[in-house]
Chains A and B, each alone.
Chain A
């Protein structure tokens, strides 16, 4: 990070507007996200954090009545270009949801799901992918003897790490996380925070959290959203210690939200 020449932008967002029907949920967002950093999105609930996150892997496409203006560029391509294959995009931009949502299949089949969907049939390669992904998600030691067990039998924290492993199994470049620890106990939360620190060696991580301590603990940069606007985006230490915008200061000092 210190060597400016070595950093590349993973995502470039320009003048992004998003409407749910008549209602505008994102207003003129401009932001660039560097490779292999952790970016935290904070802001009061309803301010558009999840909506913003979903624009990055086009999960908003599924919601009827959504309209988007502006551009989001990854690898020199506008991901809203007509020619884009959304499935390929989502393979590169993985997503972890708020509540753990493992499939009611075995642990193995959960992790192997993505690779299989993308055409991987070779049993040996799948075995490798499953082990590697589970190791990356710091779950391997706990489940290696019961890969055939139902994933739904795991504890909440384990399920969420399994969902992370499942996402990593398709080898994305970017991982989006929407309040991944809000449904978990403190110990599981700590494990996942630790994991995120590990993962940023290889992945660009964008995480929504409404826990400001968490943002401060794990992120390199933080973006503050309010009413669909990106109010301020900066290095995490700077944003929390020396915010430029009054609204940011009000929010981080707990004056609202």
Chain B
């Protein structure tokens, strides 16, 4: 008996050192994977800050934010670095996109969440998904070869490159995003809230407008903010269709340059590394990054508050 117990003492201690080491390594390796995204953020912020700092040692802060002329890629004697034309171009395109995408996106969301029967949604939703998956280069081609000629048929004096066509197509691109996020917010509204309104004899339209949309409002607004943030960062459509004329204008028929399309133009031109024009890529990139970061955080903040409502 005693012998037996001695023989089995330590039976839960079989050495498995190799397996143990491996088992202890795994979480560390996986943590390293998870840290990649932290380092990506740090990398983005780090490169932008360091290169932007050296840009601002050549160009004054004041010039960047107060001048209204942007000719970064001109000969050095004629360079002006006032970022407002790029911001104006970006906001013009984004504004047009918003005019297109906000009403259509919201209306699609209301239709899908309140009106459409399951069979219809089963067809429509995948189509919206496909629309969301179309590469932006394809949208750019569509803007230039389809929408622009169409618009020039209506507005003959408009040039080939214009903010209107680009803005409309950017708007179309973000419709699926706004529609699906808004629809998610609306489907999260509890059924009994709707039923109470129907029981009072409200029409679907009234229920949608006076009950569902207000209840889901923060989610819907968050979807707008995210959609517009996407529009601000959109590159290929504006590069192809909006032209490359940095100017401070609100005229949608004009050719403009956005922050993103400037970055592309500067990167594809032969600007040597270290030149001020090259540094401008980073300064504009930083501005763009901050714009979208603020909007994304805003969207997160809005939708987090909305979660607490029910």
Contacts and interface: CB of A to CB of B under 8 A. Distances in A.
Nearest to A78: B12
Counting contact residues on chain B (CB < 8 A from A), the size range is 10 to 19
A92 interface: yes
B11 interface: yes
B1 A79 contact: no
B31 interface: no
B9 A85 contact: no
B13 interface: yes
A92 B12 contact: yes
Interface string A166-203: 00000000000000000000000000000000000000
Interface string A54-94: 00000000000000000000111101000111011100100
B299 to A, nearest CB: 32
Classify the interface of chain B: helix, strand, loop or mixed.
Answer: loop
Nearest to B11: A75
Interface residues of A, number: 13
A77 B11 CA distance: 9
B6 to A, nearest CB: 8
B16 interface: yes
A83 B13 contact: yes
A8 interface: yes
21 contacts: A8-B1, A75-B5, A75-B8, A75-B12, A76-B8, A76-B9, A77-B10, A77-B11, A77-B13, A79-B12, A83-B13, A84-B13, A85-B13, A85-B14, A85-B16, A87-B16, A88-B11, A88-B12, A88-B14, A89-B12, A92-B12
Given A76-B9, A87-B16, A92-B11, 15 more contacts: A8-B1, A75-B9, A75-B11, A77-B11, A77-B12, A83-B13, A85-B12, A85-B13, A85-B14, A85-B16, A88-B11, A88-B13, A88-B14, A89-B12, A92-B12
Interface of B: 1, 5, 8-14, 16
